[in-house]
Structure 1
Amino acid sequence: MIAADDPRIAYVNGDFIPLVDAKISVLDRGFLFADGVYEVTAVIDGKLVDNAAHLARLERSLGEIEMGHPVPLETLTALQLELARRNSLNEGGIYLQVTRGAAERDFSYPKDAKPSLVMFTQTRNLVADPRAETGVAVVTTPDLRWKRRDIKSVSMIAQTIAKQEAAKVGAAEAIMVEDGVVTEGSSSTAWLIKDGKLITRQLSNSVLPGVTRLSVMALCAEQGLEVEERTYTVDELQQADEVFITAATTLVMPVVKVDERVMSNGAPGPIASRLRQLYIEMAKKTAVG
């Protein structure tokens, strides 16, 4: 529940307004059909991290569902920065959502609906996240999602169920599994390290093309770390030397427990920890603001 005195400012279709007053139509297709896409950009030192890649993924998602842009991408960056400024957001994230807009309820795409854009901020500890010092636990769970997971859809009920299953046992993330192989986390990309080699799922319609994943792969290339993109089983994950997850809101997060299997002797692994440090350094140097 949003507190009545929540001081945050939201952006709704051209206007910056108090979050508590932010509203959309009950006929908005994002509400009725989950007919929309979203992005979450990390903010560090008041600047946008990996934002060009986030907006490129947004553009791709919009194209895959034949949805128009609510505003030009360069305007969107300016709006994000203004929203961060109005909320005095130093560290956290900006959530943005684009839907097909409000129209009479009908499954077919409406011809005259105007895309809707909403954004809000969330303050988070990203750089000094205490979980990075201890590592996190994850659990495996069946992947219940649709077949176009490469589109960052606002339809998140399967991920919500998975995340709740993790929360029930005190885990930070659910690692989703399909036909015996790992797809990804409910809100992250999953990685394992074995014999010095980093392994993560190859891109396809089965997984989201993670933005933080992309940056980590670039860092691995710079550091001479070998990365193999392929499918892998739960058993491989549990038998790994190290496991970590990547996402805009967790950056690079070491995993110390997969189901009942303790990883890295119960402490964050050295490669994952180093990659987290390198990613934070890169983010601070390249963030836009």
Structure 2
Amino acid sequence: MSTVLMNGEFIPREEAKVDIEDRGYQFGDGIYEVIRVYNGKMFTGNEHLERLQASSGKINIQISYTVHELLVLLEELIRRNNIHNGIVYMQFTRGTCPRNHAYPTSEVPPMFIAYTKPLERPKENLANGVSAITVEDIRWSRCDIKSLNLLGNVMAKQKAAEANCYESIQYRDLTVTEGSSSNIWIIKDQTIRTHEANQYILNGITRQKIVEICQRQGLEVKEEAFSIEDLIDADEVFLSSTTSEVTPIVSVNNVPVASGEVGETTKTLQDYFKKEIIACCGEIE
């Protein structure tokens, strides 16, 4: 029987219930985070929880826990569920109250839930790469908030699934923004590029880590917009996310990226990123 965390209490999953008037259920009025677990340890846990706090501030949900308090609770949740490799999912909603578009009064407490899930590293995708399609980005203009409003992302991911692809690469006015559940990168003439961290993308924690790695290792990285044409003309393309790490994209819209093989710069970034995981969490396969 697995354990979940609900409003600070550890309870059996079967007992975890949410009211039908919870604002997350009715309005998508909430925020969330997903943290990767390797060898029973959270990777970049602080960074994820700091982003959670930032998202809460942007939509005025008052989280009563500090980052440290959340880390302690999540570590205990991982221990109770004996998670070796997996994820921790958590979300805060604005709480439960009679349905009304306006925010409830401050007397209504937020709803906090967290649970774990076993998940192994995507070794085959990391080694061989994945395929993607391009789709128009129809989402709202505050993608920097990691909110529960994911319908646009879900629709984009479904288009990828229907095309037998791993990911959809979204664009606005022919400018690539990000994937349906990832950040998108291109490499041209050994310069690594990804969309700048503004309101049109989520500033992924893995994205931030890759930028840090590039700067530390002397690899040229530019955080700036690029076009669909740039994407098609790239020497290498890859995506990044908490669960996908640094995953090569070897074809876009059924057209191979360059040679259709995983590129050398992407392999180098994979190696550097793996070292970051090992330094935090110990040896991984």
TM category (shorter chain) comes to: over 0.9
Are positions 1:97 and 2:91 aligned together? Answer: yes
* Alignment map for 1:1-289 (pairs within 5 Å): 7-111=1-105, 112-126=107-121, 129-287=123-281
Larger CA deviation: 78-87 vs 257-266: 257-266
Give the secondary structure class of the aligned counterpart of 1:52: helix
Q: What percent identity do the matched residue pairs reach?
A: 36
CA apart distance, 1:266: 2.1
State the shift of 1:235 in Å.
1.5
Q: Deviations over 1:107-151 (max 9, x none)?
A: 11111110111111121122x521111100011111111111110
**TM-score, normalised via structure 2 length:** 0.95
- SS for the counterpart of 2:63 is coil
Q: Whole-Å Cα distance in 2 between the matches of residues 54 and 174 of structure 1?
A: 24
> 1:8: how far off?
2.5
Mapped to 1, the partners of 2:154 and 2:119 lie a distance apart of 20
Structure 1 34/44 Cα, relative in aligned 2: closer, same or farther at 3 Å? same
Per-residue Cα deviation, 1:25-51 (whole angstroms, up to 9, x for no partner): 111111111110000011111111111
Distance 2:29 2:202 in 1: 17
**Is the CA contact 2:196–2:225 (under 8 Å) kept in the aligned structure 1?**
yes
Question: Which amino acid letter does the alignment assign opposite residue 173 of structure 1?
Answer: E
Deviation, 1:251, is 0.7
Q: Distance in 1 between matches of 2:117 and 2:165?
A: 22
Partner letter of residue 116 of structure 1? M
Paired residues of 1:36 and 1:100 also in contact (CA < 8 A): yes
**Does the CA-based 8 Å contact 2:142-2:200 persist in structure 1?**
yes
Alignment-mate amino acid for residue 202 of structure 2: L
Regions of 4+ moved over 6 Å: none
Gaps of 5+ in 1: 1-6
Superposed CA deviations along residues 74-125 of structure 1, whole A, max 9, x for unmatched, are 1100111111111111112111101111111111111111011111112112
Rounded to whole Å, the distance in 1 between the matches of 2:47 and 2:188 is: 28
For structure 2, the residue ranges without an aligned partner over 5 or more in a row are none
Partner SS for 2:259: helix
